[in-house]
Structure 1
Amino acid sequence: MEHIVSIDELHSRKVVRSKACEGSSSRNRPAITREERFRNFMDEGDQERKVEALGGRPPAKIQKVIFLLRDHKHFVKYFEPRVASIGPIHHGKPKYQLGEKYKLRLAYEFVQGCGKSINLLYEVEKKIKQLREFFEEEVIEKYDDEALAWILFVDGCAILQYILCATNDQFKELNIKTDSVAFAHQDLFLLENQVPYRLLKLLMSLSGKEEELRKSIESFIRNVTYQQTEPQQNVDEGESSHDSQPEPIEREVPITEPTHLLDLMRTTLLGPTPLRSSKVVPSFGKTRGIWPCRNTRQEDPDWQSYRNVQELKAAGIHLKRGKESCLRSINDSTGPKFMNLIAYEMCLDFENDFGISSYISFLDSLIDEVNDVKDMRKVQVLYNLLGSDQEVADLFNEIGTDLVPNTEAYKDVKFKIQSYYNNNCMTYMAQFFHDHFSSPWTILAFLGVLLGLALTALQTWSAIFPHSFDKAKN
C-alpha cells in the first residue's frame, strides 16, 4: 500500500535534514577569533544605533513570554492555549489536535467564501520573508519558508473566519460548540498565540470583501474591550471630579498598524500612543492625553499609607463609576487577558508606557479584601461574573504582583487621595461617621436618642418654669 506523507511530516523531515547538515558543517568550521568576536560585537551595536536614528525601535516581535513570568504558579492557566494553537510557537502539540480540526474547517470556509483558489497560499509564500521578520528567530528556526507559510496561511484564514462568525453569530452553521468558541476566544489574545497583523491585512486585501472583514475586526475588538461605540480619536471634554484637575493637551498622534491582535486590543483600551517625551496618564476607552509635567519635587505618589477601599471609605473618600470604563465585567477571561497584556508590555523589545501594568497596579492598590470588591460592585465600578467577591479580590491580588508601573500614571489621582487621607481632621470626622452611622438603623437610633433628649429637656424645663410653659401655651 502506498504511504501518504502529510505536509507537516514532509516539512519536519526537511528540518531534520537541514539540522543534520548544519551540525556536520559546524564541526568543520574554524573557531572564531577574539578580534572577529569583538568586530561583530561593535557591528551589532552600530546597527542598533542606525535603527534608532531612523525612527526608533521596530515593533516588538512575536515571542515567548518573558522568563520573569515563566515560573508563575499559574503559567499554564494564563499563558498556554486552551483549545487551539495559533502561529508557530505551540504548533503541532498533540493536545491541540481537536483545535486543529476546527481551524482547518474555518480556513476552508474562508477560502470558499472568498471564491479564491490556491493563489491565497501563493501570495502568503511570496511575502514569507517579510512575515518572518515579525517573529523572534528562536520561535521559527525549525520551520522552513514553505512550512511557515502553510501555518500562517491556515491560521490567518481561520482567525478572519472566526471573527466574521463571531460578529455575525454563525458558529451553529459550522457545528462548532459554544464551549469551544469561548475557549478559542480567549486563545486569540495570548502572547504566544499571535500572528502578524500584516498577514491578516494581506489576506483581507485578497479576499474580495476587505471592508466587511475590517469592520468585523473593529466590532470584535470593541466587544472584547467592552466598548459598544466607535473608538474616539480625540480626548473628550468630560466633567472633572476636582476643580484643579488639569486639562489634557490634545495633539494629533499618528495611528500605526498594530503588530498583532493582542497589540490591537491594547491600543483600543489605551488609545494611540502619545509622543515619547510626553507624560502619560492612561485613560481607558479614550485617546491618551498628553499631560504637562508636574513639579518633580512633589511628594512621591507611589508611596501611600492607605491599603484599600475600606480605609479610603473610612477617611471619607468614596467610589464613583466614570462615564467610560472598559474593565467592568470580571469573568474567566479577565486573568489571562490582562496577564498577557502585562507580558506583552514586559517584552524587552517593546518600547511602551506600561499603560496596562499601571492600571492593574492602581486597581491592586485599592483591592485588598472581599469588602473592597463588594463596595466597587455596589457602585457598578465592577460587574462580578466569577461567582464570589473573594475570587475577584484573589484575582487582582494575584495579577497585580511584581508589576513595574509607569510612575507618571495616575500620579495626580494618587497625590490627591493621599493628601486628603493625610488631613487628620477630615479623616477623624469621616472615621466617626463611618463607625457610628454606617447603616440606616444606626442613624434612626441616633435620631431617636436626639428626640428622647429633646423631650426630656422640654419636660425638665416645664417642671422648673411651669408659668413660662403655661404662657407659651396660651
Structure 2
Amino acid sequence: MEHIVSIEELHSRKVVKSGEGSSSHDRPSITREERFRSLTEAAAGARTGVGKEAKIQKVIFLLRDHKHFVKYFEPRVVALGPIHHDNKKYQLGEKYKLILASKFVECSGKSINDLYEAVVNEIKQLRECFEEEVTKKYDDEALAWMLFVDGSAIVQYIFCATNDKFKELNIKFDSVAFAQQDLFLLENQVPYLLLNLLMKLSEKEDELSESIEHFIGSVTYQQTKPQQKQKERSAPSPPESSKSDSPSGKTRGIWPCRKKGEEDPDWQSYRNVQELKSAGIQLKRSKHRSLRNVSFTRRFNFYPGYLWLPPITVDDSTGPKFMNLIAYEMCLDFENDFGISSYISFLDSLIDEVNDVKDMRKAQVLHNFLGSDQEVAELFNEIGTDLVPNIEAYKDVKFKIQSYYDNNWMTWMAQFFHDHFSSPWTILAFLGVLLGLALTAAQTAYAVMASQPGPCEKFCKLKLKKN
C-alpha cells in the first residue's frame, strides 16, 4: 500500500540539502510531487467528509485550552466511554457502574454472556461511532467490555432515576446528582446504538425506552418526541435547539463582508437589560421553554415594548450543560445552526451586571438556584466568551428592539413614566403637582372673574347715568 504523506509529516520532516550533516535515513527528504499530493488529498478528504455522521470525540482545543472552561468538560464522579476510562480518580464510579450493570442484567431476563456477545458482534460498528484517536489504544475485546458495562449502567441508571429505585441499590443521593451531570458531558458519551441494542435484548424494553424519554424531558424541561421506528443515528443526535427550521440553518456565525459605507444590519447600540428598561422595554415570560421562543412586541404597536424570553433555571449544572452543548456544536464534523451558541450569546448581551439578573428574576424568566445574582451574571459572562453565533438567529428580534431603541419618543416617554409613575410616592407627588396646578388655575380664574364688573354693578351704573 502506498504511503500517504500527511500535513503533520510534511512539517516534521526536514529537506536534506547538500552540505548538511543530517542523514537521509533519519530525516527522509520529500519531493514536490508528495507535497502537492498531500494538499489535494486533504482537500478530497474534506469534501468526502461533508454530510457524514458526527462522531464522539474530545472537546475541540479552542475550548479545552481556555483556562476557565476545563472545569466544564471533565467528569466529577464517573467516566463513561473510552476518553476518561483509565483515569484512576473515577474508581468509585467504576464500582457504581458494576452495581448498575449487574442490576440491568438481572432484570433483562438474559445471561451476561448473551448480552455481552451481542455487543461483541456489533463492536466494529460501535467503534466507528467514535473518532479513531479515542479508541485506538483499546482492542475489540477491551472496548466491547467497556461499552457493555457503561451502556448497561446508563440504561439502568436512567430507569432508577425515573422510578426512584436508587435506595434499593444503596446508592447515595449526592452520587446520583453528580452522575447525572456527568451523563451530559461531550467526552462522556456512548453511542445510542449501544443503548438501543441493550434495551431490545431486555424483557423490559418498553419500560426502559419510556424511562429514557421521560428522563431527557425532565432534565431539559422539554417534551420529547416519541422514538421513530427508523434507522437510529449511531452517534448522539443534535439537541432539538440545534436543529434548523429554515434554509439558513447551516449559516455559520461569520459576518459577511459589507461594501464601503454600507450600514451594519447587525449593529445594536443597547447593551443590557438596564438599558432596555430605560427605553421602556419590559421583560415578559414566554409560555414555552424552547430557546427559539424569543420575540418582541409593542402594546397597541406603540408603547411600551415587551421582550418575551423562555424561562430558564440556573443551577450548578447550567454551566456544564451549556458548555458541552456548545462544544458539540463546535465539533468539526457536525453541521448545525449553532442554536445553543446563539442563545447564550443573546443572553450574554442582556446580562452584564447583578441588576440585569435581578430584573430577569422579577419577570420570572430566570430562576436562580445557583446562589447570588452576581454568580449568575459571572456565569453567563464567562460562558459567553469567544462564542461565534449564527447571525440569522434572533435577527428579527434584534432589529425590532433596535428600531424601538432608536426612537427618541420612546425614550422620552420611558423617562416620563419612570420619573412620575415608578413608585407610589412619585405618583402621589405627580398628583400633588397636578392638584397644585389645578388650584392655581382656579384661583387665577376666580381673580380674573372677580375683577370684572357683574350684571348688578352694570345696572346700577346705568341708573346713575339716567338720573
How high is the TM-score relative to the length of structure 2? Answer: 0.78
Q: Which moved more, 1:204-213 or 1:406-415?
A: 204-213
For residues 386 and 136 of structure 1, do their structure 2 counterparts lie closer, same or farther at Cα, with a shift above 3 Å needed?
same
Q: Which moved more, 1:325-334 or 1:121-130?
A: 325-334
User: Shift of residue 226 of structure 1?
Assistant: 1.0
Q: 1:394, 1:166 → 2: CA distance?
A: 31
Q: 1:29, 1:160 → 2: CA distance?
A: 52
From 269, 272, 283, the equivalent of 1:319 is 283
How many residues were matched structurally? 400
User: Shift of residue 349 of structure 1?
Assistant: 1.2
From 199, 203, 208, the equivalent of 2:203 is 208
Judge conservation of contact 2:126–2:234 (CA < 8 Å) in 1: no
- What SS does structure 2 have at the residue aligned with 1:123? helix
Q: 2:398, 2:358 → 1: CA distance?
A: 22
From 131, 137, 145, the equivalent of 2:126 is 131
- Aligned letter for 2:51? R
User: Shift of residue 216 of structure 1?
Assistant: 1.0
The answer to whether structure 1 residue 329 and structure 2 residue 313 are counterparts is: yes
Output aligned runs, 1:149-228, within 5 Å. Answer: 149-227=144-222
For residues 59 and 392 of structure 1, do their structure 2 counterparts lie closer, same or farther at Cα, with a shift above 3 Å needed?
same
The answer to whether structure 1 residue 351 and structure 2 residue 339 are counterparts is: no
Output aligned runs, 1:245-256, within 5 Å. Answer: none
From 56, 59, 72, the equivalent of 1:78 is 72
Q: What RMSD over aligned residues (CA atoms) do the two structures have, in Å?
A: 3.0
User: Shift of residue 467 of structure 1?
Assistant: 9.1
The answer to whether structure 1 residue 415 and structure 2 residue 409 are counterparts is: no
Cα deviation, 1:196-231, whole Å, max 9, x if unaligned, reads: 11111111111132222221111111111112x454
Cα deviation, 1:409-444, whole Å, max 9, x if unaligned, reads: 111001111111111222222233234532222122
Indicate the residue corresponding to 2:303 in structure 1: none
Output aligned runs, 1:319-468, within 5 Å. Answer: 319-326=283-290, 327-466=311-450
For residues 281 and 122 of structure 1, do their structure 2 counterparts lie closer, same or farther at Cα, with a shift above 3 Å needed?
closer
User: Shift of residue 464 of structure 1?
Assistant: 4.3
- Aligned letter for 1:317? I
- Aligned letter for 1:165? C
Indicate the residue corresponding to 2:106 in structure 1: 112
For residues 121 and 135 of structure 1, do their structure 2 counterparts lie closer, same or farther at Cα, with a shift above 3 Å needed?
same
Output aligned runs, 1:255-274, within 5 Å. Answer: 257-258=232-233, 260=235, 263=237, 266-267=239-240, 269-270=241-242, 272-274=243-245
Judge conservation of contact 1:281–1:409 (CA < 8 Å) in 2: no
Indicate the residue corresponding to 2:4 in structure 1: none
Q: 2:265, 2:201 → 1: CA distance?
A: 51
For residues 281 and 331 of structure 1, do their structure 2 counterparts lie closer, same or farther at Cα, with a shift above 3 Å needed?
farther
User: Shift of residue 193 of structure 1?
Assistant: 0.5
For residues 209 and 125 of structure 1, do their structure 2 counterparts lie closer, same or farther at Cα, with a shift above 3 Å needed?
same
Q: 1:58, 1:203 → 2: CA distance?
A: 25
For residues 329 and 123 of structure 1, do their structure 2 counterparts lie closer, same or farther at Cα, with a shift above 3 Å needed?
same
- Aligned letter for 1:428? W
For residues 48 and 399 of structure 1, do their structure 2 counterparts lie closer, same or farther at Cα, with a shift above 3 Å needed?
closer
For residues 300 and 163 of structure 1, do their structure 2 counterparts lie closer, same or farther at Cα, with a shift above 3 Å needed?
farther
Cα deviation, 1:445-471, whole Å, max 9, x if unaligned, reads: 211221232223323433443599x99
Equivalent pairs: percent with the same residue? Answer: 70
For residues 339 and 135 of structure 1, do their structure 2 counterparts lie closer, same or farther at Cα, with a shift above 3 Å needed?
same
Indicate the residue corresponding to 1:57 in structure 2: 51
User: Shift of residue 343 of structure 1?
Assistant: 0.7
Cα deviation, 1:89-112, whole Å, max 9, x if unaligned, reads: 000211111111111101111111
Q: 2:123, 2:29 → 1: CA distance?
A: 31
Indicate the residue corresponding to 2:12 in structure 1: none
Indicate the residue corresponding to 1:285 in structure 2: none
Q: 2:287, 2:427 → 1: CA distance?
A: 31
Cα deviation, 1:239-294, whole Å, max 9, x if unaligned, reads: xxxxxxxxxxxxxx999745555x45x22x45x5447xx02499xxxxxxxxxxxx
From 137, 142, 146, the equivalent of 1:147 is 142
For residues 112 and 31 of structure 1, do their structure 2 counterparts lie closer, same or farther at Cα, with a shift above 3 Å needed?
farther
Judge conservation of contact 2:419–2:426 (CA < 8 Å) in 1: no
The answer to whether structure 1 residue 305 and structure 2 residue 269 are counterparts is: yes
Q: Which moved more, 1:73-82 or 1:120-129?
A: 73-82
Indicate the residue corresponding to 1:279 in structure 2: 248
Judge conservation of contact 1:79–1:336 (CA < 8 Å) in 2: yes
Judge conservation of contact 1:304–1:418 (CA < 8 Å) in 2: yes
Indicate the residue corresponding to 1:24 in structure 2: none
Q: 1:122, 1:131 → 2: CA distance?
A: 13
User: Shift of residue 48 of structure 1?
Assistant: 4.8
